[in-house]
Amino acid sequence: MKAAGLAGVIAGDTVISTVGKEGLDLNYRGYSIRDLAAHSTFEEVAYLLIYGKLPNVEELKAYTAKLVSLRSLPDGLKVTLEQLPANAHPMDVLRTGVSALGCLETENSFEEARDHADRLVASLGSMLVYWYHFANSGKRIEVESSESSVAGHFLDLLHGEAPSEDHRRCMDVSLILYAEHEFNASTFTSRVVTSTLSDYHSAIAAGIGALRGPLHGGANEKAMELIERFTDADEAEKELRDMLERKEKIMGFGHRVYRDSDPRSDIIKEWSLKLSQNSDKAFLYPVSERIEKVMWDEKHIFPNLDFYSASAYHYCGIPTAMFTPLFVISRVTGWTAHIIEERGVGKLIRPTADYTGPSPQAYPSIETRS
């Protein structure tokens, strides 16, 4: 079977999540995304994905404490981060940080994968914000905070103060929603790297590279760049119609697997609405809603998770260039589950291609070549 972009191709089995299956909601290991977003914390979801079950009270306490203890950055990593310029893309910073950590704290056996995953879940936010403050103001921040959650820790380091309860929980829910999504492009990339029996950090760095593009994780940044061009909904509608006329892609809309809606979108949309009510940029929400309406009316295309994440993150005071890195901080848990699953498969991923190049031809000496 051949399909452009491998669309519709079943490339393996997984027990980790279901996406777009008839009669089944998006779920992680059998738990509906709606239940997880309503009742869980990101730490519980990370544990579910990395360790295979929801933690009980004692396990969650121990896991949260473990993550808190793994936030610090080794000196060699700080020195590396300090070399990266302020105009570097934060995704490149994270990709470099993961590579550097892989040299300083190398995975010596596949049994160590879960420990390396916990280290990244705990320290990716530290890396990102350490670099951000050093590159922009020369300040070497402490990467510890009194916040016990990954979400709260990130916001505290970024803003230098404890976040509001709403911002903390919005970020927590967003990390839950972004954590896992079956054989998406970055996860599949991580699985391909893993299938060669490569190491954990190489698989994660490759996943970050795949996630960076605007057809995948980078769409949340592009969606923000779109909505912040407008201050009212009518203006947005006019420009959107012109963009569609010019056959431009609208970032944050559409999906390879879903046909009518992305079940994660309504959840983050509610957060965007809630946070807009206390913001001086409340107009971004009606602008977003109008764009959603035009896309549906004109193209029958719906927002994916990235679209309303953009305004929700903006309301939390997060710089746009950090949107996709936040996706990384969350998705590292899903990538890890797939890396571990792929190691269990133990079969090199190596498809074939139809050859469409030139017919066999005589080898020309260099003097006769045009």
Task: Tell me the C-alpha distance between 165 and 270, whole Å.
Answer: 16
Could you tell me the smallest distance in angstroms from the CB atom of residue 291 to ligand SDX?
11
Catalytic residues: 216, 255, 306
* Shortest distance, position 96 Cβ to ligand SDX, whole Å: 22
CB of 301 to ligand SDX, least distance (A): 5
27-28 and 31-32 strand pairing? antiparallel
Nearer Cβ to ligand SDX (141/301): 301
Among residues 64 and 184, whose Cβ is nearest to ligand SDX? 184
Of 97 and 217, CB closest to ligand SDX? 217
Cβ-in-10-Å burial (0-12, 13-18, 19+) of 142 comes to exposed
β-partners of residue 298 are none
| Residue 217 CB, nearest approach to ligand SDX (Å) | 6
Q: Which is nearer to ligand SDX, 95 or 331 (CB)?
A: 331
Report the alpha-carbon distance of residue 163 to residue 153 in Å, rounded.
9
- Closest approach, Cβ 251 to ligand SDX, in A, equals 5
Tell me how far CA of residue 344 lies from CA of 77, 87, 106, 111, 296, in angstroms. 31, 40, 21, 12, 42
Q: Give the 3-state DSSP-derived string for 325-361, with helices as H, strands as E and coil as C.
A: HHHHHHHHHHHHHHHHHHHHHCCCCCCCCCCCCCCCC
Q: How far apart are CA 223 and CA 221, in angstroms?
A: 5
Q: Which CB atom, from 253 or from 271, has the smaller least distance to ligand SDX?
A: 253
Positive or negative CA dihedral for 198, 335, 30, 64?
positive
Closest Cα to residue 211, out of 91, 112, 120?
Answer: 91
The site for ligand SDX (CB under 6 A) is made up of 5, 7, 181, 184, 215-217, 219, 249-256, 299, 301, 304-306
| Rounded least distance, CB 244 to ligand SDX, Å | 7
Q: Which of 209, 176, 204 is nearest to 191 (CA)?
A: 204
103 versus 215: smaller Cβ distance to ligand SDX: 215
93 residue type, one letter: V
* Nearest-CB residue for ligand SDX: 254
**DSSP, residue by residue, 143-211:** ---S--SHHHHHHHHHHTSPPPHHHHHHHHHHHHHHS--TT-HHHHHHHHHHHTT--HHHHHHHHHHHH
